[in-house]
Amino acid sequence: FGKRTSTKRRDQNPAPQMLNYTCSDGRSFWLLGLEADRHWPGFLDAIARPDLGEEPRFRNAVERSKNCGELIAILDAHFATDTYEHWTKRFDVCDVWWAPLNSIPEAIEDPQVIASGAFVDMTPHQGEAPYRAVNSPVDFSDYSPVYGRVPKLGEHSPEW
């Protein structure tokens, strides 16, 4: 607490398997290789690069960390050769942990976000378009909130 966060560049991230990458269509994903050595073989299968597993500089998590800049450059170039859909399907088939790196419009329409009730549809003042707002992050089992429009400026001010 109270310490400045790291200002390292992306290519200096000592955990290349815990980083975001961009595909040929401009969409991005996060790799979630939390257990770098355990996840390495499946990851290599998913990206069809078994040669990387034979490289001494990438043989284990310690070596991949030491040579992170080189590995990140290789992976950046490799992921840029195909689409988000291609890579994420390969990850699913090979049980590689990953997560989408959504734009704001994608995040708002994400099925999990919608299912969680993170947003509520609001009915505004007459003549205004309906809109979606962020729901309360607190949920009480015996209480259902009632949502309504925001009062107009001065609407609830006392008459003097």
40 and 62 co-located in one domain: yes
Structure tokens at 137: 């992050």
Residue 70, domain CATH: 3.30.1540.10
The mean pLDDT of the chain is 90
67 and 136 co-located in one domain: no
Structurally, how many domains does the chain consist of?
2
What pTM, to 2 d.p., does this model score?
0.74
Residue 158 lies in a domain: no
Nearest alpha carbon to residue 17 among 77, 97, 93, 81:
97
81 and 120 co-located in one domain: no
Structure tokens at 79: 């992921």
**Of the residues 101, 122, 139, which one is the last residue of a structural domain?**
101
Nearest alpha carbon to residue 113 among 100, 129, 131:
100
* Model confidence band, residue 1 (pLDDT cutoffs 50, 70, 90): low
60 and 51 Cβ atoms separated by less than 8 Å: no
86 and 107 co-located in one domain: no
Q: Which domain holds residue 131?
A: 103-151
Residue 128 lies in a domain: yes
51 and 110 co-located in one domain: no
Q: What is the pLDDT of residues 103-157, one digit of tens each?
A: 888 988 999 999 998 998 888 888 888 888 898 888 787 887 777 777 788 887 8
97 and 20 co-located in one domain: yes
Mean pLDDT (whole number) for 61-84: 98
Structure tokens at 37: 């050595």
